[in-house]
Every structure is written in structure tokens, then in C-alpha cells.
Amino acid sequence: MNTRHLALFREVALTGNLTQVAQRLHISQPAVSMQLHRLEEEVGVPLFALLGRQMTLTDAGRAFLEYTEEILSLEEQLTRVMDEFNEGRRGRVVVGTSLGVGTYLLPQVIQEFAQSYPKIVIDLQVCAEEEIEKFVRNGHFDLGFTMRMPMEHFSLRVTKFTTDQFIGIRSPAITPQTKLWIPKDIAGLCPAFHEMRKTADELPNKFAATTNRHTSPLSTGLIERHIEIGCLESMELVKRYVAAGLGYGLVLRSAAAKDLEQGQLSLWTGYVEQAITINMVTRPAEHLARSTWIFLHHVRTRSTHKEKA
């Protein structure tokens, strides 16, 4: 029994006339009769009764028709869904990023994409900056947004997403502070950070010796010295500490834009803002699903329009 046999059964059940069904399906009437006979032999009960020239359903046939309708409907739905996957109109894209980028730069991008492609699910997963490249390579992420240039970027596709700035922030109250708070995802860009324990006097040499080709925003932008450095879980927490007068902070400008505009935070002149490029990282093109390509195209187009605006 297959769905072609079920479709034939449904045609006969709805018309009750073998000749009409044979003409509609462009097959001979004996072929229709033979397939129905085989179907009845397979299920083990008569599905039709012959009244004159009209085929009518038996009780078993009526029950069989109900299930046949459900099966054929599911087959049609399955075909449509598979077509949507094939055409990229349905799917799931696993996106990896750090907490700061995921909180302040991606929500609007994902919201706009969801409006255009409601059947493609964006599964946003947060991890440490240094893990994004690894998770893209091993297929855990389809796409990564990262502030780091991948160590082995020649075997990956790297595309610019946007440019942001690291900025220093302080409480609007003019009170000298002795501590600088840095969120984990920024600290993760600086390999020496966790070894230091630590005053800013040591930053230039220690960071220069350990960052290789990754530029440290701390070593290049920090003006004020003799300041203790601490690490907090997120940029949001850094902003809260700074607003409470517990020190200065280092965050992305996009993270503090509204707070600066509303006067809840002020720029800290002890740090010279540093530009940072956020890149999209994927595996080679032949390993990407159609839905991932569509999301990539959406982000690239949006970024291009934003740069021209």
C-alpha cells in the first residue's frame, strides 16, 4: 500500500464511478479495478459494494476513507514543508555571539528578519568570545558574530557586520574613582587580563606581549593610570556599577547610547574611544544551509544600507 493507491481509492470513493476515475487519471478501467482489488486484499476486508453501476463504500470503506484523507493531507503538508526547506523559506539558523553583541546589536536585526521570514527560526546562543570560532568550525553554530578576528580565518568566511567603539563611562557625579570595571566579553579579547591582578600601570607591556595580532582596547585607549581593574559578568552590570558610583567602566558605545543620551551616564575622559569591528563568521559556502544563506544576505544588505545612510 502506498499513497498512490490511497489517492486512487479516494477518487473512486468520491465519484463512485470507475470509468470517470480512469478517464481523469488517464489509465484503463481494468487497471483501476485491479488496483482496488489488490488494496482490498491487502487490508483484508471489502471497501466497496457494487449497486448497479455505482460503487458505494462499505462501513469499513468509510472508515478507511477517513484515514486516507488524513494521510494524503499529511503528505501534502510534508511536501510543502520540504519545499520550503529546499527554497530556504523555512529552517533554523543557530547564531552564536557574546553577551554584549547579542544584547545590544542583534535584537533589531533578528526582529526585522523574523518579519520577512517568519518560518525561519533564529536560535541565538551566547558564549565567550574566544569560543565562537571553535563552535562555528565544529558546526555547533551556523554563524557567529564576534569582536575577534578568527585565528585561522583563511578556512572560514569572514564578513564585516558593523563597527562600534569601546568607550569609557562614569557616573555624572564628578567623583574620582579608583576602579575600572570591564565586562567579561571585552576582557576576553585581552588574554593577559585574567593574569594581571593588576593595576593599569602594567597594561601596555603585559598586553602587548600577549595579544599577538589582536589589539587590546585597554592598552591602546587607557590614559589614566594607577587604577585597579575588575571584571563583571556583563555590560549591563558594568553600567549599573558605574551609575551607582562604584567606579569607571569600559563598554561598547551601542550599550551605553541611551544612558548617555538620558544623562544617566557620562563619558569618562580617562579612556580614548577605540573602534572595534564586529564580524560575521561562517564555514565555507558549500556547508551552509539555504536558510543560513538567506539570513546572511539579510544582514549584509542591512549593513550596506546602514553604511550608506
Other Cβ atoms less than 10 A from the Cβ of 265: the count is: 22
* Measured CA angle at 104 (ends 284, 126), to 5 deg: 55
pLDDT for 205: 37
Shared domain check, 192 and 246:
yes
**Domain assignment of residue 193, given as a range:** 164-275
CA distance 270 to 290: 47
Half-sphere exposure in the Cβ direction for 195 (13 Å, CA): 10
Cβ 240 vs Cβ 291: under 8 Å: no
Residue at which a domain ends, from 86, 117, 133: 86
> Quick one: pLDDT at residue 147?
92
Q: CA 187 to CA 262: how far, in whole Å? A: 27
* Grid cell locating 138: 565544529
Q: pLDDT tens digit string along 100-147?
A: 999 999 999 999 999 999 989 999 999 999 899 999 988 889 999 999
Residues 67, 22 share a domain? yes
Whether residue 143 contacts residue 292, with contact meaning beta carbons closer than 8 Å, is answered with yes
Do 191 and 211 belong together in one domain? yes
DSSP bridge pairs for 251: 167
H/E stretch holding 167 reads: strand 157-170
Q: Per-residue pLDDT averaged across 178-191, rounded?
A: 81
Q: Which residues contact 303 (CB under 8 A, 6 or more apart)?
A: 160, 161, 162
Identify whether residues 188 and 126 lie together within a single domain.
Answer: no
pLDDT digits (tens, 9 = 90+) for 47-81: 999 887 788 999 999 999 999 999 998 888 888 77
Q: Are residues 149 and 284 in the same domain?
A: yes
- Which residues lie closer than 8 Å to 40 by C-beta, 6 or more apart? 46, 47, 48
Residues 38 and 56 grouped into a single domain: yes
Number of domains in the chain: 3
Q: Are residue 172 and residue 264 in the same domain, yes or no?
A: yes
Burial bucket for residue 209 (CB in 10 Å: 0-12, 13-18, 19+) = exposed
The reply to whether 240 and 197 lie within a common domain is yes
Average of per-residue pLDDT values in the chain: 84
Domain check: are 284 and 268 in the same one?
A: no
| Top-confidence residue, 197 or 154 | 154
Closest CA to 169 of 103, 253, 97: 253
Q: Which residues contact 125 (CB under 8 A, 6 or more apart)?
A: 94, 95, 96, 97, 141
**Are 116 and 211 members of one domain?**
no
- pLDDT grade, residue 215 (50/70/90)? very low
User: Based on the domain organization, do 75 and 222 belong to the same domain?
Assistant: no
pLDDT bin (cut points 50, 70, 90) of residue 222 is: low
What percent of the chain shows pLDDT beyond 90?
51
The three three-digit cell numbers of residue 187, written as one number: 576582557
Gap between the Cα atoms of 228 and 181, Å rounded:
9
**CATH number of the domain within which 115 lies:** 3.40.190.10
The domain boundary, picked from 86, 105, 139, lies at: 86
CA-CA distance, 97 to 117, in Å (whole number)?
21
The pTM of the full predicted model, rounded to 2 decimals, is: 0.68
Q: What is the DSSP letter of 192?
A: T
Assess whether 255 and 285 both reside in one domain. no
Distance of alpha carbon 249 from alpha carbon 169, whole angstroms: 5
Average pLDDT rounded to a whole number, residues 195-201: 44
Which of 37, 62, 86 lies at the terminal end of a domain, its last residue? 86
Q: Are 282 and 143 in contact (CB under 8 A)?
A: yes
